[in-house]
Amino acid sequence: MTRAAANPSTAPPLWLKGRPYVIAGPCSAETETQVLRTARRLRRDRRVAAFRAGIWKPRTRPDCFEGVGVAGLPWLQRVRRDTGLPVAVEVARAQHVYEALKHGVDILWVGARTTVNPFSVQEVAEALRGADVPVWVKNPVSPDLSLWLGAAERLARAGVRRLGAIHRGFSTADAGPWRNAPRWELALAFRKEAPDLPLLGDPSHLGGRRQFVAEIARRALDLGFDGLMVEAHTRPAAALSDAAQQLTPAALTALLDSLPGHRRGAPCDTAPAAGLAALRGEIDRLDEELMRLLSRRNLVAGQIGRYKKAHRMAAFQGGRWRQVLDDRLEQAVRLGLDRRLVEEILQRIHDLSLQVQISAMRR
Tens-digit pLDDT profile for residues 50-81: 999 999 988 777 877 888 999 999 999 999 99
3 state DSSP class of 338 = coil
Does 330 score more than 60 pLDDT? yes
Average pLDDT over residues 205-230: 93
Q: How confident is the model at residue 259 (pLDDT cuts 50, 70, 90)?
A: confident
With 70 as the cut, is the pLDDT of residue 181 above it? yes
Contacts of 34 (CB under 8 A, 6+ apart): 26, 233, 234, 235
Q: Calculate mean pLDDT across residues 148-159.
A: 97
Instruction: Name which CATH class applies to 277-361.
Output: mainly alpha
Q: Residue 269: what residue type?
A: D
Q: Would you state the pLDDT for residue 359? A: 93
pLDDT value of position 4:
40
The predicted pLDDT at position 178 comes to 87
pLDDT score of 194 = 94
Residue 88 has pLDDT above 80, yes or no: yes
Is the pLDDT reported for residue 302 higher than 90? yes
CA-nearest of 355, 347, 356, 354 to 299 is: 356
Helices within 65-209 (DSSP H only): 73-83, 94-102, 112-115, 118-127, 145-157, 184-193, 203-207
Q: Please report how the helices 32-43 and 249-258 are oriented relative to each other, as an axis angle in degrees rounded to 10.
A: 30
pLDDT exceeds cutoff 60 at 101: yes
Model confidence at 327: pLDDT above 70: yes
Task: List the single range of 56-70, 150-164, 266-280, 306-320 with lowest mean pLDDT.
Answer: 266-280
CA 217, CA 255: separation in Å to the nearest integer? Answer: 8
| pLDDT for 262 | 55
- Cis omega before residue 20 (within 30°)? yes
Identical fold between 3-271 and 277-361: no
As a whole number of angstroms, the distance between CA 319 and CA 313 comes to: 14
This prediction's pTM: 0.74
Residue 134: predicted pLDDT: 96
In this predicted structure, the answer to whether residue 362 has a pLDDT above a threshold of 60 is: yes
In terms of CATH, what superfamily is 3-271? Answer: Aldolase class I (3.20.20.70)
- The C-alpha atoms of residue 86 and residue 17 are separated, in whole angstroms, by 12
Q: What is the mean pLDDT of residues 114-143?
A: 96
The backbone torsions φ and ψ at residue 359, rounded to the nearest 5 degrees and listed phi first, read -60, -40
Residue 292 banded pLDDT, cuts 50, 70, 90 = confident
pLDDT of residue 271: 45
Share above pLDDT 90 across residues of the chain, in percent, rounded to a whole number: 72
CA distance 173 to 258: 31
In the predicted model, what is the mean pLDDT of residues 188-208? 94
Q: Are 176 and 216 in contact (CB under 8 A)?
A: no
Instruction: Work out the burial of residue 35: count CB atoms within 10 Å of its CB; fewer than 13 is exposed, 13-18 middle, 19 or more buried.
Output: buried
First to last CA, the chain: 56
Question: Bigger pLDDT: 287 or 235?
Answer: 235
Banded pLDDT at 273 (limits 50, 70, 90): low
What is the model's pLDDT at position 282? 75
Which run of H or of E encompasses 201? strand 199-201
**Average pLDDT, stretch 261-281?**
56
Mean pLDDT of 133-139: 97
CB-based burial, 291-323: b 16+ in 10 Å, e otherwise? eeeeeeebeebbebbeebbeeeeebeeeeeeee
- Locate the domains of the chain by residue range: 3-271, 277-361
**pLDDT at 176 (0 to 100):** 75
Task: Reply yes or no on whether the pLDDT at 10 is more than 50.
Answer: no
Q: What is the pLDDT of residue 17?
A: 67
Average pLDDT, the chain: 89
